[in-house]
Amino acid sequence: MSLRTCTHIKSNGVQCRSAALRNSIKCYFHHKHRRRLKRDVILQSLNTKRGRLTAIDQILHAALTDRIDPEVARTLLYGIQTTPNS
């Protein structure tokens, strides 16, 4: 029986290769419930101008490095644009 490894590709292009969770292709760190926690933190940071600028920078970088679908990037940027300024 072989050990399944996480299929997540890190930002440096290297595969994670940690042990995958049972019935998953991701490790504990990269599993979707952890990503949901990160999204909640990001959403809270959009309450400030600096947080919105940081989010825009991250989205643009992800789009330029093909780590995010252009349509998703467009939707996220539109959402940030329409948030009320604090």
The verdict on residue 6 lying in a domain is yes
Q: How many CB atoms lie within 10 A of CB 4?
A: 15
One domain for residues 9 and 47: no
Q: Which two tokens stand for residue 67?
A: 């780590």
For residue 61, what are the domain limits? 32-81
One domain for residues 39 and 69: yes
Q: CB within 8 A of 69, min separation 6: which ones?
A: none
Q: Do 72 and 58 touch, CB atoms closer than 8 A?
A: no
Q: Do 10 and 46 touch, CB atoms closer than 8 A?
A: no
One domain for residues 3 and 40: no
One domain for residues 37 and 72: yes
Q: How many CB atoms lie within 10 A of CB 75?
A: 12
One digit per residue, the tens of pLDDT, for the chain of length 86 reads 578 899 888 878 899 889 998 888 888 888 776 666 556 666 677 888 888 888 888 888 888 887 777 888 898 889 888 877 75
Q: pTM score, two decimals?
A: 0.53
